[in-house]
Amino acid sequence: MIVGIPNAGKSTFINSYAGKASAKTGNKPGVTKGVQWIRFGNDIDLLDTPGVLWPKFEDKRTGINLALIGSINDNI
């Protein structure tokens, strides 16, 4: 299972590992809409997941930093 914050490169990692474009990727958060299984050969399956975030940021700076790197939408 591949899990991380939105727009961190989870699907890109899977594609790199597979050596082909198995998972859809993009330059913005929200490209992976749901979980998807990617098969490698006969014995390895990876689960690609959409980005996950905690429900509330402890401080405003965390939200600002995530918006600056493109992991979350930067408009309110």
Q: Which domain holds residue 45?
A: 10-68
44 in any annotated domain: yes
34 in any annotated domain: yes
45 in any annotated domain: yes
pTM of the predicted structure, to 2 decimals: 0.60
CA separation, residue 33 to residues 13, 30, 62, 71, 73 (Å): 17, 6, 23, 14, 15
| Interval 10-68: pLDDT, tens | 888 888 887 878 777 776 666 777 788 888 878 888 888 887 776 777 888 887 787 77
- SS3 at position 2: strand
42 in any annotated domain: yes
- Number of domains within the chain: 1
